[in-house]
């Protein structure tokens, strides 16, 4: 996308000649320029522009270099043009060097700073791009500066700032609106995924993690596993009504009518103001038989949950218990009338009134509970975009409670879907819309994905990233030759693509082609030294080459970066045994077995707890 936009930004010959004529001479110039010097510069410059017009960029670069060799400080803007023609040849390092030399002589060259920032993005050095793009956008905000600033923020994982920049670009986008909508959707999606992954790693057995997993399985139509995950969350937070309606729905889909009704009745008991409307089975997906996987005694476990005592019901049972604890504390303070109105409005389902009450509570900066309730009110009103604006604020971003972070992830995920839907609706034939459709088909493991990926590439042959998504689709289907070709084509248009190099390295490792894998993996490590998966692949490549010390070093680095890669302990044990280091091998195998035993113990305790709950139930589940 950046290549296509830059090609439209080249300046005309007359305009550049005017700039040169008006440009002040550098004070660093050692001698005054006479008419012959200006004639020589103009002659070379006109020749360079003619080569540019014919797209003979290498010859144009030669002309610009000839000017700069003779007059290195006289006309700094020549460095800008040299940078541009290097950029068009995808010689981004040369472009960076030219732009930087020009800026050193004339710091007012906004165009050079813009293309310098874009060039740094193209060589995947976003930390170097960011200050230049921030400066350009501050001095001369345009669609291009806003768009590329958003890309720099996103690449530096500054997602909230990225969304703000993309939203500034959107009204100015014109025929580029599909690209901007896609960028906003992708930014929100990556932010949601990052938050969710961090929470899952930090809290692998929490109710919020089970709830998140349940929603994923539900979206994938794996209803029995979704029901189990909802049930596990319900056991951990039995006074949270929001768990029981989706649980009842999953059980109804599975044909488990008695436990479904029990879950629904508990939902009603916790929320007595909600009308007691039964689940309309005609609106449910086709009924599935609950015979897959582990048999779970849903009815017994539901009956074993603590009874709902109306005097002990939390202020807002629709929220998690830890949030209700904070609400109880807030309601116990002096002058809590405003918060009481908030709770009463939410309990009655009057969410607009709740928002008004929250605005009148005299919120203090950093009040995360106020912002959390505001986000929920927007969510209940199906206004996810407004919810996302609040969810991006520091008060919630810095709050460690998992319930808060899970809500943020869900809001950002929903907003990303809204932007993708808008993209597909408004620009259905665009390459970005086709990419979104392809990714959706791929997520559902549908064969239509390949056709949409190829159509997206045909629509935008110079666009980056589409081939990476296509390669991932091929890899998922074990089509290694096709995945390799997609990555190689990506490198043709984006030579610095670490994503393509990483995948090529893995493909060659999986095909036991270690020699071919090595340069790609080494380049990936140079681009991101903290990627544990790349370190593991590099270790495997060295292992195939019998470079044992190098393999051991990479495997150990992978474990330092990600201690959860327990299989690496087993690989290390095997290598140490092979090298005759019995004690080291035994230590690695001991660590592997200890981690496996801990995981097994966790699963065993979970099963025992479920069985205990089942034993306390009064009857087997009905259908």
Distance CA 256, CA 251 (A): 5
Nearest to 88 by CA among 57, 61, 128: 57
45-48 long-range contacts, CB within 8 A, separation 24+: 45/13, 45/16, 45/17, 45/20, 45/78, 45/81, 46/13, 46/17, 48/81, 48/85
Higher pLDDT, 76 or 365: 76
Q: Is the per-residue pLDDT at 15 higher than 60?
A: no
Give 286-337 pLDDT, tens digit per residue. 766 555 444 678 998 999 999 998 888 999 999 999 999 999 999 998 888 9
pLDDT for 129 equals 97
Give 178-191 pLDDT, tens digit per residue. 999 999 999 999 99
Buried (b) or exposed (e) across 418-436, using 16+ Cβ within 10 A?
bbbebbbeebeebbbbbbb
- Reduced to 3 states (helix: H, G, I; strand: E, B; else coil), residue 248 is helix
Least confident among 8-12, 208-212, 483-487, 584-588: 8-12
Give 43-88 pLDDT, tens digit per residue. 999 999 999 999 999 999 999 999 999 999 888 999 999 999 999 9
Tokens at residue 442, please?
Answer: 């791929």
> What is the distance of C-alpha 86 from the center of its chain?
31
Q: Is the per-residue pLDDT at 28 higher than 50?
A: no
pLDDT for 288 equals 61
25 — pLDDT class (breaks 50, 70, 90): very low
Q: Taking all residues of the chain, what is their mean pLDDT, rounded to a whole number?
A: 88
Tokens at residue 420, please?
Answer: 């993708």
Are the CB atoms for 406 and 208 separated by under 8 Å?
A: yes
Least confident among 191-205, 292-306, 490-504, 566-580: 292-306
Distance CA 148, CA 324 (A): 43
> In this structure, how many other beta carbons lie within 10 angstroms of the beta carbon of residue 414?
17
Q: What percent of the chain has pLDDT over 90?
A: 70
Three-state DSSP string of 542-565 = HHHCCCHHHHHHHHHHHHHHCCCC
Distance CA 152, CA 173 (A): 18
Around 279, how many Cα atoms within 13 Å sit in the side-chain half-sphere? 26
Distance CA 591, CA 585 (A): 10
Give 408-442 pLDDT, tens digit per residue. 999 999 999 999 999 999 999 999 999 999 999 99
Distance CA 552, CA 576 (A): 9
Q: What are the C-alpha distances in Å from 103 to residues 99, 110, 148, 244, 471?
A: 6, 9, 19, 62, 39
- Reduced to 3 states (helix: H, G, I; strand: E, B; else coil), residue 221 is coil
Distance CA 239, CA 281 (A): 26
> In this structure, how many other beta carbons lie within 10 angstroms of the beta carbon of residue 545?
14
> What is the distance of C-alpha 68 from the center of its chain?
43
Residues 6+ away with beta carbon under 8 Å from 415: 185, 188, 384, 385, 387, 388
Q: What are the C-alpha distances in Å from 565 to residues 85, 195, 198, 559, 586?
A: 46, 20, 16, 6, 18
pLDDT for 1 equals 52
Least confident among 207-221, 231-245, 495-509, 590-604: 590-604
Distance CA 613, CA 615 (A): 5
Domains in the chain, CATH or no CATH each = 2-177 (1.25.40.10), 202-304 (1.25.40.10), 321-421 (1.25.40)
pLDDT for 600 equals 72
Q: Give the mean model confidence (pLDDT) for residues 166-170.
A: 96
Least confident among 5-19, 262-276, 402-416, 497-511: 5-19
Tokens at residue 222, please?
Answer: 């794996």
Q: What percent of the chain has pLDDT over 70?
A: 89
Distance CA 369, CA 569 (A): 43
344 — pLDDT class (breaks 50, 70, 90): very high
Nearest to 345 by CA among 315, 322, 384: 315
Nearest to 483 by CA among 462, 459, 508: 508
pLDDT for 400 equals 94
Furthest-apart CA pair in the chain: how many Å? 103
Q: Is the per-residue pLDDT at 611 higher than 70?
A: no
Q: Phi first, then psi: give them for residue 581, nearest 5 degrees.
A: -100, 80
596 — pLDDT class (breaks 50, 70, 90): confident
First to last CA, the chain: 55
Phi-psi group of 522: left, alpha or beta (phi > 0 → left; psi -120 to 50 → alpha; rest → beta): alpha
Distance CA 535, CA 49 (A): 47
Q: Is the per-residue pLDDT at 4 higher than 50?
A: no
Distance CA 403, CA 203 (A): 11
557-561 long-range contacts, CB within 8 A, separation 24+: 557/532, 558/532, 558/533, 559/532, 561/530, 561/531, 561/532, 561/535
Give 137-156 pLDDT, tens digit per residue. 999 999 999 999 999 999 99
Distance CA 495, CA 508 (A): 19
pLDDT for 422 equals 95
- Reduced to 3 states (helix: H, G, I; strand: E, B; else coil), residue 278 is coil
pLDDT for 8 equals 39
595 — pLDDT class (breaks 50, 70, 90): confident
pLDDT for 282 equals 82
Distance CA 75, CA 57 (A): 20
Q: Is the per-residue pLDDT at 32 higher than 80?
A: no
Q: Is the per-residue pLDDT at 470 higher than 90?
A: yes
Q: Is the per-residue pLDDT at 113 higher than 80?
A: yes
Nearest to 126 by CA among 155, 105, 100: 155
Are the CB atoms for 218 and 246 separated by under 8 Å?
A: yes
366 — pLDDT class (breaks 50, 70, 90): confident
Distance CA 383, CA 369 (A): 19
pTM of the model: 0.82
């Amino acid at each position: 996308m950046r290549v296509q936009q830059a090609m439209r930004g080249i300046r005309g010959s007359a305009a550049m000649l005017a700039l040169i004529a008006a440009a002040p001479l550098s004070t660093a110039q050692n001698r005054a320029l006479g008419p012959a010097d200006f004639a020589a510069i103009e002659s070379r410059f006109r020749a360079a522009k003619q080569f540019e017009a014919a797209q003979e960029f290498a010859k144009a670069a030669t002309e610009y270099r000839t000017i700069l060799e003779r007059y290195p400080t006289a006309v700094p803007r020549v460095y800008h043009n040299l940078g541009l023609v290097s950029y068009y040849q995808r010689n981004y390092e040369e472009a960076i060097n030219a732009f930087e030399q020009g800026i050193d002589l004339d710091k007012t060259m906004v165009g050079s700073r813009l293309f310098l920032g874009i060039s740094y993005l193209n060589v995947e050095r976003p930390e170097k791009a960011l200050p230049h793009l921030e400066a350009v956008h501050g001095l001369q905000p345009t669609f291009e500066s806003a768009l590329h600033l958003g890309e720099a923020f996103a690449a530096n994982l500054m997602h909230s700032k990225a969304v703000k920049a993309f939203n500034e670009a959107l009204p100015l986008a014109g025929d580029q609106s599909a690209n901007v909508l896609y960028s906003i959707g992708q930014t929100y999606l990556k932010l949601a995924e990052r938050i969710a992954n961090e929470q899952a790693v930090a809290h692998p057995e929490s109710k919020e993690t089970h709830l998140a997993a349940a929603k994923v399985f539900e979206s994938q139509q794996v209803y029995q596993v979704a029901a189990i995950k909802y049930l596990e969350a319900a056991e951990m937070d039995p006074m949270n009504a929001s768990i029981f309606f989706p649980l009842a729905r999953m059980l109804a889909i599975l044909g488990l009518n008695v436990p479904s009704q029990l879950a629904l009745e508990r939902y009603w008991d916790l929320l007595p103001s909600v009308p007691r409307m039964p689940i309309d089975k005609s609106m449910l997906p086709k009924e599935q038989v609950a015979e897959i996987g582990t048999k779970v005694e849903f009815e017994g476990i539901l009956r074993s949950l603590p009874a709902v005592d109306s005097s002990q019901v939390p202020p807002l049972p629709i929220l998690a218990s830890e949030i209700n604890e904070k609400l109880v504390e807030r309601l116990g303070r002096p002058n809590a009338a405003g918060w009481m109105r908030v709770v009463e409005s939410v309990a009655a389902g009057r969410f607009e009134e709740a928002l008004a009450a929250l605005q009148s509570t005299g919120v203090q900066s950093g009040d995360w509970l106020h912002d959390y309730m505001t986000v929920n009110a927007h969510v209940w009103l199906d206004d996810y975009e407004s919810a996302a604006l609040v969810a991006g604020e520091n008060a919630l971003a810095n709050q460690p409670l998992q319930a808060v972070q899970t809500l943020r992830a869900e809001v950002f995920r929903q907003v990303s879907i809204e932007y993708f839907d808008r993209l597909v609706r408004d620009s259905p034939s665009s390459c970005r819309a086709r990419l979104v459709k392809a990714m959706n088909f791929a997520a559902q493991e549908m064969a239509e994905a390949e056709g949409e990926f190829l159509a997206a590439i045909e629509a935008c042959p110079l666009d980056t990233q589409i081939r990476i998504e296509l390669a991932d689709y091929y890899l998922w289907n074990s089509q290694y030759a096709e995945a390799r070709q997609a990555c190689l084509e990506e490198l043709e248009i984006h030579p610095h693509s670490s994503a393509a190099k990483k995948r090529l390295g893995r493909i060659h490792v999986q095909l036991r082609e270690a020699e071919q894998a090595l340069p790609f993996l080494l380049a990936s490590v140079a681009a991101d030294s903290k990627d544990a998966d790349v370190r593991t692949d590099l270790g495997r490549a060295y292992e195939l080459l019998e470079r044992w010390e190098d393999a051991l070093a990479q495997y150990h680095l992978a474990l330092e970066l990600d201690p959860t890669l327990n299989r690496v302990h087993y690989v290390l044990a095997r290598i140490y045994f092979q090298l005759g280091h019995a004690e080291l091998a035994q230590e690695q195998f001991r660590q592997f077995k200890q981690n496996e035993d801990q995981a097994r113990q966790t699963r065993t305790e979970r099963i025992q707890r479920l069985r205990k709950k089942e034993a306390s139930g009064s009857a087997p589940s009905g259908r």
